[in-house]
Structure 1
C-alpha cells in the first residue's frame, strides 16, 4: 500500500502536469497498476487490519443473558459469573459495547436560560484562614450567586451557614443587583431547607415574590453554573491572596468580581457584563422596604444581663433585667430591644467563636446597681408580705436572753 503523500503526488502529476500513467510509474518507481488504483479513487489510502476473533466472542452469549436480567451488573461480577480467567480489559471493553442495548437511554437536555429567569446559589468554603479577632482564625462560608442568562457572579463571606445569616447574605447580594431573579436554585442546604424551604426562607421568598427551587439529592448538574463559579473563584481569585479579616475578604472579592464579570465567558462567547442589562430588565423589582432582621428571638433577661447569638454572649443594659427583650441580628450587628421598642443594646457582630462582648457602659451600670443593692440593709423595720404598712418589731437587750438560759446571775436556777 502506498503512502498518502504518494497518492496525492500521483493525482497531481496526472491531473495538473498531464503526465501519462507509464511516466508516473517510472518517475516514482512504482508499478502501473498502483498508479491506476490511485487514480481510480478519490479517497486517500487507509491501512485496515483484518478483523480477528476475540476471546470474549466465546462468552458473549452468556454476557448478553446476564445484562438482559441485570443491565447494571458490573463487569467484575460478570467475570465471576462466567468464570472468566483472562485479562479484564478486553472483557470490560466488550461489556461497555453491549450494555447500551439493555440500559434505558437517559439523554441530557441542553438548558436554555431566559433573561431574569433564575439564579443558582451555593456555599463556597475557601481554603483560607481568615483572622476573626480574639486570636482566632477560621474558614468561613461564602455565599455565591450566578445569574443563568448573563452568568454574572456575585458573592459575599458570611459569619455562619445558619438561616438568618443566609437570608441576610441574599438580601445584601440582591441589593447590589438591584433586582430579584424569578427563581433561586439551591441544593439541600440545611439552612435553606431539605425537601422544602424552612419557614424563614419561605417567608423571605414571599417578601421577594420569588420561588425557591431545591434540587434533588445527588444531582450536581442541576446547578452546574454555580459549581463552576466556585471552581473559578478557587483557582483564579484565591491563590496568592492574604486577608486581614472578613471585611477585607469581601472588599477584595467585590473588586475582583467587577473585573471577572467583564471577561469573555467561554460558553457564551460574550462578556457577562454585556448581557447584564437585558437580564436585569426581566427580573423582579426589590421590595420597597428593607426586610426585617431575620435572625430574631425573644427572651426574658436574667440577672446576668447577657444574650447569646450563635456562640457569643452580648451584654444588655441591666435596667432591662427581668423584662422580655427582642434580639435582632444580621451579618454586621446585634441589637436588643425592650418591650417598648427602646434599644437596650447594640453591638458589632463578633465572628469569632465563644466570646463575651461587653459594653463598658453596661458594665458600669451593673456595678452601680450592685453597690446600691448591697447598701440597702434592714434597720429594724420589715415590710409585711402583702407590702402593707411598716410593722414595729421590739428589740430586746442581749442580757435578757442570758438570764433566760441561766448564763448570768438573775436567770433561772442552775441545776
Structure 2
C-alpha cells in the first residue's frame, strides 16, 4: 500500500506534468498497477486491518430472533436463552448494535400550544451557594413554571422539594399570575408523584381544577420548554450575581424575569409579554382558598415544648404542654395553633438542624419551672411540719414505743440488739 504522499505525487505527475504511467512507475520505483490504482480513485489510501470474525457471529441469528420477539429484552436474558458462556462485554456490544433495528420508532412531534392550555414545571438547582443563616450555605431548589403559549417564565426558590413546599411554591407563583393553566406538566418528581400523584398534590390539583400530567421516565423532550428556561436562567441570570440569602435571590430573580419576559422569543417570533394577556384570559381562575392550610401537622406537645418541621425545632409556648396543636408551615413562616389561640409563630429557617427559641417562650417556661419548684418546696415543708408538730396541724400520727426506734437505729448501724438475737 502506498502512502498518501505517493498517491498525491502520482496524481500530480499524471495530471499536471502529463507524465505517462510507465514514466511515473519508473520515476517513483513502483509498479504500473500501483500507479493505475492510484489514478483510478479520488480518495487517498486508508489502511484497514482485515476484519476478524467474532464469537458472537455464530449466535447473531438467534439474537436477532429474540430481539424480534421482545426488542427490550436485556442482554443478560439473551445470554441465558442462547446458552452464552463467554464474556458478556462482546455480547452486550453486539446486542447494543442490533437492538435499534427492532425498537419501535418514537419520533418527537413539534407541539403548537393554545392559549391557557398548558404550563411546564421543573426544579432548577442554581450553581451558586446561597447563605442560609447560622453559618450554613446551600443550593435550594428553584421552582420554574413556563407557559406553553406565551413562553412567560415565573420562578421562586423553595426551602425544600417536599410536597408541602412544592404546593406552597405553586400557589404563590400561580397567585401572581392570577390564573391557572388547564394542564401542568411535571417530570417524576418525588414530591409531586412518580407514576401517580401524591394524595396531597392530587388534592391540590382538585382545588385548582387543573390536570397534572406526569411525563414518562427519561423523556426530557416532553418538557423541553422548561428545560430550556432552566438553561437560560443558569447562563443569563446567575453569572456575576451575589446573593445575601434566599429572600435576596427571589427579589433579584423577580426583577430579572420582568426584563426576560420582554425579550423577543425566536420560536414564537414575539415577546412573551405580548402574548400573555390572551394566554392568561384563557386560563382557569385562581380559587380563593389557601391550600397550604389544608394539611396541618397535628402533634401533642411534650414537656420539651418544641415541634420539628423538616430538620429544625421550633419552640412552642409552654402553656400548650400536654395539648394537641396544629402546625402550619409554608415557605416563609411556621405557625402553631392550640384551638383558636396562636401559641407559636416563627420565620421559616432555611438552615438545617437548628433549634429556634422564642424569648417569650423561654421566659414563660422559666417562670413555670420556678412556680413548680416553689410548690414542691411548700409541700415538702408541710410534710416536715406534720412530722415535727403533728398536733398543731390536726394530724393524727401513730405513737411508737421508744424501743422500736432503738432497734431501728441499731440495725442501721450494722449490729443487732439483744432482743433481736
What TM-score, normalized to structure 2? 0.71
Which residue is 2:337 aligned to? Answer: 337
Return closer, same or farther for 1:102/1:193 CA change in 2, 3 Å cut-off. Answer: closer
Q: Quick one: distance in 2 between partners of 1:324 and 1:265?
A: 54
Q: Does the 8 A contact of 1:167 with 1:204 survive in 2?
A: yes
Q: Quick one: distance in 2 between partners of 1:392 and 1:344?
A: 44
Which residue is 2:115 aligned to? Answer: 115
Return closer, same or farther for 1:352/1:295 CA change in 2, 3 Å cut-off. Answer: farther
Q: Quick one: distance in 2 between partners of 1:268 and 1:187?
A: 24
The secondary structure found in structure 1 opposite 2:291 is coil
- Note the aligned Cα RMSD (angstroms): 3.6
Which residue is 1:268 aligned to? Answer: 268
1:56-91 deviation line (CA, Å, top 9, x unaligned): 99x9xx999799645789xxxxxxxxxxxxxxxxxx
Aligned 1:226-241 pairs, distance under 5 A: 226-241=226-241
Give 5+ residue unaligned stretches, structure 1: 1-47, 74-91, 383-389
1:13-49 deviation line (CA, Å, top 9, x unaligned): xxxxxxxxxxxxxxxxxxxxxxxxxxxxxxxxxxx97
Q: Displacement of 1:268 after TM fit? A: 1.2
Q: Quick one: distance in 2 between partners of 1:99 and 1:288?
A: 53
Q: Displacement of 1:105 after TM fit? A: 3.7
Which residue is 1:173 aligned to? Answer: 173
Which residue is 2:132 aligned to? Answer: 132
Q: Quick one: distance in 1 between partners of 2:394 and 2:299?
A: 38
Return closer, same or farther for 1:294/1:125 CA change in 2, 3 Å cut-off. Answer: farther
Return closer, same or farther for 1:341/1:403 CA change in 2, 3 Å cut-off. Answer: same
Q: Does the 8 A contact of 1:165 with 1:295 survive in 2?
A: no
The secondary structure found in structure 2 opposite 1:376 is helix
Return closer, same or farther for 1:365/1:270 CA change in 2, 3 Å cut-off. Answer: same
Q: Does the 8 A contact of 2:167 with 2:292 survive in 1?
A: no
Q: Quick one: distance in 2 between partners of 1:196 and 1:406?
A: 77
2:386 aligned with 1:403, yes or no?
Answer: no
1:181-208 deviation line (CA, Å, top 9, x unaligned): 0011101100001111111101111111
Q: Displacement of 1:245 after TM fit? A: 0.2
Return closer, same or farther for 1:100/1:401 CA change in 2, 3 Å cut-off. Answer: closer
Aligned 1:14-413 pairs, distance under 5 A: 69=65, 70=67, 104-338=104-338, 340-377=339-376, 378=379, 379-380=382-383, 392=395, 394=397, 402-405=405-408
Q: Quick one: distance in 2 between partners of 1:102 and 1:50?
A: 37
Return closer, same or farther for 1:395/1:273 CA change in 2, 3 Å cut-off. Answer: farther
Q: Quick one: distance in 2 between partners of 1:252 and 1:192?
A: 27
The secondary structure found in structure 2 opposite 1:156 is strand
Q: Quick one: distance in 1 between partners of 2:164 and 2:218?
A: 25
Q: Quick one: distance in 1 between partners of 2:218 and 2:147?
A: 22
1:290-335 deviation line (CA, Å, top 9, x unaligned): 3342552101100000000000000001001000111100000000
Q: Quick one: distance in 1 between partners of 2:293 and 2:336?
A: 12
Return closer, same or farther for 1:395/1:186 CA change in 2, 3 Å cut-off. Answer: farther
Q: Does the 8 A contact of 1:295 with 1:330 survive in 2?
A: no
Which one is further off, 248-257 or 282-291?
282-291
Q: Displacement of 1:354 after TM fit? A: 0.4
What TM-score, normalized to structure 1? 0.72
Q: Quick one: distance in 2 between partners of 1:259 and 1:249?
A: 16
Q: Quick one: distance in 1 between partners of 2:43 and 2:62?
A: 26
Q: Quick one: distance in 2 between partners of 1:226 and 1:202?
A: 22
Q: Quick one: distance in 1 between partners of 2:370 and 2:184?
A: 56
The secondary structure found in structure 2 opposite 1:137 is strand
Return closer, same or farther for 1:399/1:177 CA change in 2, 3 Å cut-off. Answer: farther
Structure number with higher helix proportion = 2
Return closer, same or farther for 1:100/1:381 CA change in 2, 3 Å cut-off. Answer: closer
Q: Does the 8 A contact of 1:145 with 1:153 survive in 2?
A: yes
1:227-251 deviation line (CA, Å, top 9, x unaligned): 1111111111111110000000000
Which residue is 1:78 aligned to? Answer: none
Q: Does the 8 A contact of 2:108 with 2:221 survive in 1?
A: no
Give 5+ residue unaligned stretches, structure 2: 1-39, 73-93, 386-392, 412-416
The aligned length equals 332
Q: Quick one: distance in 2 between partners of 1:290 and 1:101?
A: 53
